[in-house]
Amino acid sequence: MLSPKILRRQDGSTIAYYKSTGRSPGIVFIHGWMSNMTGAKAVCLERWCQAQERAFVRFDCFGHGQSSGNFYDGTVGRWVGDTGAVLEKLTNGPQVLIGSSIGGWVALLAALKWPVRVAGFLGIAVAVDFTEDVIWRRLSHAQREELSSRRTLRLPNPNHGDPYYITQALIADGRKHLLLKDRIAVTCPIRLIHGLEDREVPWQTALRLQEKIAFPNITTTIIKDGNHRLSRPQDLEKILKIAADLIESIEK
């Protein structure tokens, strides 16, 4: 694989990315937390867009993959800023944002902030309000006290990998970007897909999100045996079909 290109932000940080030129609307893929732009969904979508001669960008958010920054200094707001920089500097015309997990939350926030540029949104196991509704809610009183006093908290990895840390900054910043408490004024066609066997983000989150989004052009697909990653061949095929349906809706 060729080395990624680098986009430099005003603060000196760098965003690693891959870009394919093509027709509009283009697609921008936003990966999930503790993931990166080399995952199966990102690469599959890139190849699909290249076959259609459709513009496509995948990139690593701050602190992930080959972009600069310490992962533990990352916040939702920071990743929204990265997405805005990608939209401004690397794309032209209307774009469809496809976000996976926390990348879906980031994409929704970007759609609210740059409505003129975002023509559609596809959310894959969207982890909207994840820092509050999943991370914070699952912490014990003792863990919350430790996070408050030390500003970091070590947690076991549910996937049996290395332990990871939660920062107070991540939780505090997340509270500035919560969406499910009010109506969500996104003004573009939306498609959501979620696995019924998701053990990280409850599948009911997709239904709550559909209820809160004000725009009427929205559909939700539940994969009965799907997990959080939704990266099996049959999951990828379903994602491509939903993406094609979304683009068709936009182009009508």
| Residues involved in catalysis | 101, 198, 228
Classify the phi-psi angles of 151: left when phi > 0, otherwise alpha if psi is within -120 to 50, otherwise beta.
Answer: left
CB 165 within 8 A of CB 153: yes
Contacts of residue 20, defined as CB under 8 A and 6 or more positions apart, other chains included, come to: 46, 49, 50, 54, 55, 56, 57
Beta strands in the chain (DSSP E): 5-8, 14-20, 23-30, 54-59, 95-100, 118-124, 152-155, 164-167, 190-195, 218-223
Burial 60-77 (b: 16+ CB within 10 A, else e): bbbbbbbbbbeeeebbbe
CA distances from 207 to 52, 96, 152, 222 (A): 31, 21, 32, 10
Q: What is the separation of C-alpha 119 from the centre of its chain, rounded to a whole number of angstroms? A: 16
Does a cis peptide bond (omega within 30 degrees of 0) precede residue 25? yes
